[in-house]
Structure 1
Amino acid sequence: MASAELIAHRDTWEWLAALAVDHSHFRTPPSVEDIKEGRAQTVLSGRSLIALLIELWNTRSTATPLQGDWALAMTTYNRIAAELTDVTGQGQTIRIVLDDGLPQDSGD
């Protein structure tokens, strides 16, 4: 996997970045664009996405169930995994939307 476009609420993005920043394979993206209604859009390398998934898995395994970090980790991990399940490797852009207010196929 080369990269994936990620769209999330700014608060969610900041939580994800803080969660993964200390993982040896996570690289902070060179740019995070503010888009409408408090959302952020960025591109993560495959390496950084793997690091994020590892940290989400660890958090959902160690956080107190039904608390904020656990809920965010569960939801985010499951949504990213669902998006990656159908990837065919045919040069398509992988777009991961972590915002219920934004349709999956919306332009932004």
Structure 2
Amino acid sequence: MTRAKLPHQCETMADVRAGVDQVDRELVALLVRRFGYMDAAARIKTDRATVRDEARKAEVLDNVARAAEVAGLEPARLRAVWNELVEQSIAYEAVQWDRVRARD
């Protein structure tokens, strides 16, 4: 597969779309890895009530907002994206927690 052009190299909308599609594939691969950590958390946590950890959620969102600011992006926009990601991760982990216990 050919690497897409970098954003500053794009000359057409086809170039832009190819770049976006490539980034999306890379993001999916990273999300597979991230959700793998949710699988590990579901396996490790002994109490289902600890699946939702609001202090940890706040820490993750703060970390992302700081990283976004350093990178020159809008912290609030990335915080909103990550809020949804964290909520979906929590929901996924809860399902996995139940599945792990159902097999035992």
Greater strand percent: which structure? 1
Q: TM-score, normalised by structure 1?
A: 0.31
Rg comparison, structure with higher value: 2
Higher helix share: 2
